């Protein structure tokens, strides 16, 4: 775990020192603020509806930010040639993947925390359930973690960050459209495919509405583990190329 801690501190420091990380954070807050004002507030009269809309639009922004933060984690190492140092050092691939993932997740969590003023604005003009707020932010963290794991896998696959961005965005967008696709199919494929959707079922109908289901938590944790496992296996395969 010492190697994981070192990689975590190195990557988190890179986010905090690099203007790229803060540019992503600034864009996230800007877009989130615009969507909150123009879409979430809209013509909704109930505070619960405004809060639900806030979490739905925020999840889209968080997913985009997660892909933007994760694509550099491995692809940049290959572009700069520093991947050779990692491959020849006594560090396991699982420690590399875990350290990079946790650093990106920590920075993403900081970015998500910066949006907390928006539910407070709703509280000023209406009534807000703090349980709904807590559940919504838990959902954003879990959705962000799953999105980061997808982006990290794409970064491990690609040699260039642009390619990693396209692959990661395509994977996340495709998984976010499984429910509409499943809706056009017959049972039992309809139910099985719909439950694999990363956004409609588990976030929009669950966390964004202030509803905690164990199956939603398990789904996001399992999805994160699955793509982290794919990342480790990809790093192991490419180590010998």
Q: What does 158-227 look like in DSSP terms, one character per residue? A: -SSHHHHHHHHHHHHHHHTTHHHHHTTS-TTHHHHHHHT-TTIIIIITTGGGT---HHHHHHHHHHHHHH
User: So what's the pLDDT on residue 239?
Assistant: 75
User: So what's the pLDDT on residue 193?
Assistant: 85
Number of compact structural domains in the chain: 1
Read off the tokens for 44. Answer: 């909704």
Query: Which residues form the domain of 62?
Result: 2-239
Maximal CA-CA distance, the chain: 60
Query: How far from 195 is each of 48, 135, 188, 226, CA to CA, in Å?
Result: 25, 20, 11, 16
User: So what's the pLDDT on residue 111?
Assistant: 96
pTM of the model: 0.95
User: So what's the pLDDT on residue 69?
Assistant: 95
Read off the tokens for 36. Answer: 């909150």
User: So what's the pLDDT on residue 43?
Assistant: 66
- Binned average pLDDT, 10 residues per bin, the chain of 241 residues: 91 91 91 85 75 93 96 90 80 95 97 94 85 97 98 95 96 93 80 88 93 96 98 88 64
User: So what's the pLDDT on residue 187?
Assistant: 75
CA distance 73 to 150: 12
Burial of 2 (0-12, 13-18, 19+ CB in 10 A): exposed
CB 118 within 8 A of CB 54: yes
């Amino acid at each position: 775990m010492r190697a994981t801690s070192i990689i975590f501190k190195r990557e988190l420091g890179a986010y905090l020192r690099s203007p790229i990380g803060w540019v992503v954070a600034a864009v996230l807050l800007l877009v989130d603020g615009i969507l909150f004002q123009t879409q979430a507030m809209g013509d909704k009269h109930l505070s619960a509806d405004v809060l639900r809309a806030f979490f739905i639009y925020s999840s889209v922004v968080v997913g985009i930010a997660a892909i933007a933060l994760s694509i550099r984690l491995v692809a940049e190492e290959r572009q700069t040639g520093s991947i050779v140092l990692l491959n020849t050092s006594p560090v396991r691939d699982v420690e590399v993947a875990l350290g990079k993932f946790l650093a990106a997740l920590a920075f993403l969590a900081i970015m998500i925390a910066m949006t907390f003023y928006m539910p407070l604005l709703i509280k000023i003009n209406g009534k807000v359930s703090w349980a709904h707020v807590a559940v919504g932010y838990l959902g954003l963290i879990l959705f962000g973690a799953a999105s980061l794991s997808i982006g990290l896998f794409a970064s491990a696959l690609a040699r260039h960050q642009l390619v990693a961005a396209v692959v990661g965005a395509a994977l996340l967008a495709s998984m976010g459209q499984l429910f509409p696709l499943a809706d056009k199919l017959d049972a039992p494929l309809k139910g099985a495919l719909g439950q694999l959707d990363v956004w409609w079922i588990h976030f929009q109908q669950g966390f964004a509405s202030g509803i905690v289901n164990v199956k939603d938590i398990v789904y996001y944790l399992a999805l994160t583990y699955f793509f982290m496992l794919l990342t480790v296996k990809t790093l192991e395969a490419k180590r010998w190329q």
